[in-house]
A and B are shown apart, each in its own frame.
Chain A
Amino acid sequence: MTDNMHRLQSEFQTFLFSGRNEQELQTRIAESNDIPATARLAVYRNAYYIRLQEALAHDFPTLLAVAGDARFGKLSARFIRANPSRHPSLRDFGRALPGWLREGEEGDLAEVAALEWAVLEAFDAADHTPVAAEALAQVPPEEWEYLGFDFHPSVSLLKVSCNVRECWSVVRNDKGAVPALRDTEEERLVVWRAACGPAVQAIEPALFSALLGLKDGRRFGECCLQLAEQTSAEQAPAIAAQALALACNSGWITHIQHDTDQT
């Protein structure tokens, strides 16, 4: 029924992606106004790449600033060829970019893209009301071991090993030239949506481990046991409690699971 349309759209898409069948597609184009088919088709092919490159530049401004126009242009063109969009909205087009960078030749830029994607995800993550900071204080101490926690959907936890946060902050706050990307001591970051918009905060490694465990669904007691392996049995509960207090005070927790079932 739609074989002709299907074939035509396949050919057109092949042209947009690669341009390799241009001569064949030109024979499909009606002649009018003395405008050559090659000029007509070029509008579509140029627009396809420009639109997707602009979407990436919009969503990854720090990556653009750090990589520079030339490198960003090349890597985004390669990404577009390797990852045709599978989403109705351009907002989602860059989802695969951090992973693609990590696995490819541009691995040094992967952490920049990962941070920017986490920020974008925080921006329009689902709305959930955080629990009040006082909510934990109302839980009897003997029940803490079995508490579980739902994190706000905007919260991401990232480890980075270069000055990504510094670069992001300079670009975000329009503070002039972005510094060069350089290796640093490993930094643990929390990205979330604060009242004023997406925020990025560095935290201590032990607190990060605790939050990672809790966010992965571990109960408070399990989290303490895990932390004890990294610190000590004496220190672990205090660190986990400190992480939890930070999470509650920052609005990262949306629900406390009061589950006394140890199985």
Chain B
Amino acid sequence: MTQRVGTGFGLGLRPPFYQAAAAGEIPVDWFELISENFMVAGGNPLRILDAVAERYPIALHGVSMNLGGTDPLDKDYLQRLKALVARVEPVRVSDHLCWTRHGGHHLHDLLPLPYTEEAVSHVAQRIGIVQDVLQRRILIENVSSYAEFSQSSINESAFLAAVAEAADCHILLDVNNIVVSAHNHGFNAEAYLQDIPFDRVQQIHLAGHTVNEPLLIDTHDHPIADPVWELYRQTLHHLGAVPTMIERDDNIPPLTELLTELDEARQISQRALAA
């Protein structure tokens, strides 16, 4: 469980960088691609996908698996994901610990779950189905949240750990999401880490957020904030070397700025490992 597939530092691949990535011109160790963006029949998206996959290790990251929903898992979606996995042979496949669909309607958001034993059991069982279909372990990511439910009986970090243990899956730890949710719900971000089964963490997300008092919003449209860098340092003290990447989805700066941020992550990691 402690062995991590590939280390190094990557970026979330977004359209402004498609051509450069397809040409192998971006100095990163790997790219993370949004799975749904490449579940298309053909054309330029698949040409980009194949070219990038030829030149870089790929991680596939989904936003619509609906692991926490009560609708049945979408078999067609899973088969299309399975085909995509076969096509690019990704180093990791991930989605979110949340629900995204109900009554056949997709909400296109990462919606919060109640942190209950019922939810642990339900989500773990669905992750098991997905892992059987894909014939591999997946990673589940902690999401940013703006509301928690009064029926929750455990805290978020314990919920994440319980689901990962029950499903025997990996974790994609989003450090920005911990900072955002800690602010929004008043918990201690460093204490959150104490609950995490570190041997299951196979990847880290870093991102920026927006301050919209009294809440922090997970917008991925700003540089990484200082509290996120600080928690990243703390996280690496526990984890050691973990594949790390930056998500930037809006207000996307020139590539050089993202690469500079990625260098900062690299340096933090080197210092943490040397300590």
Contacts and interface: CB of A to CB of B under 8 A. Distances in A.
Interface of A: 1-2, 4-6, 8-10, 12-13, 16, 27-35, 37, 39-41, 43-44, 47-48, 51-52, 55, 84-91, 93, 122-127, 153-154, 193, 197
Contacts of B111: 9, 12, 44
Contact of B146 (A5, A13, A43, A88): A43
A123 B77 contact: no
Contact of A4 (B103, B118, B147): B118
Interface residue range, chain B: 35 or more
B254 interface: no
A37 B109 contact: no
A89 B64 contact: yes
Please provide the 8 A-B residue pairs with the shortest distance between their CB atoms, ordered closest to farther.
A127-B42, A88-B64, A126-B41, A124-B40, A124-B43, A33-B186, A84-B105, A40-B147
26 contacts: A1-B118, A1-B121, A5-B118, A5-B122, A8-B151, A9-B111, A10-B102, A12-B102, A13-B102, A16-B107, A27-B150, A29-B147, A30-B148, A33-B185, A35-B215, A48-B107, A55-B108, A88-B64, A89-B37, A93-B108, A124-B42, A124-B44, A127-B41, A127-B43, A153-B42, A197-B44
B195 interface: no
Most chain B Cβ neighbours within 10 Å, of A10, A43, A127? A43
B10 interface: no
Contacts of B214: 33-35, 39
B99 interface: yes
A150 B45 CA distance: 23
Given A41-B147, A87-B106, A154-B43, 20 more contacts: A1-B121, A1-B122, A2-B70, A5-B70, A9-B70, A16-B107, A27-B150, A29-B149, A32-B185, A43-B217, A44-B109, A44-B111, A51-B109, A52-B108, A85-B108, A88-B36, A88-B39, A122-B43, A124-B44, A124-B46
Contacts of A1: 118, 121-122
Nearest to A127: B42
A86 B106 contact: yes
A8 B105 contact: no
A93 B36 CA distance: 13
A90 B185 CA distance: 29
Contacts of A197: 44
B131 interface: no
B113 interface: yes
Contact of B122 (A2, A33, A39): A2
Nearest to B250: A54
Interface in B84-130: 99, 101-109, 111, 113-114, 116, 118-119, 121-122
Given A9-B70, A28-B150, A127 B107 contact: no
Nearest to A17: B105
B146 A48 contact: no
Nearest to A51: B108
Interface string B40-80: 11111110000000000000000010001110001001000
B152 A85 contact: no
A35 B45 contact: no
Contacts of B105: 13, 84-86
A133 to B, nearest CB: 22
Contacts of A32: 148, 185-186
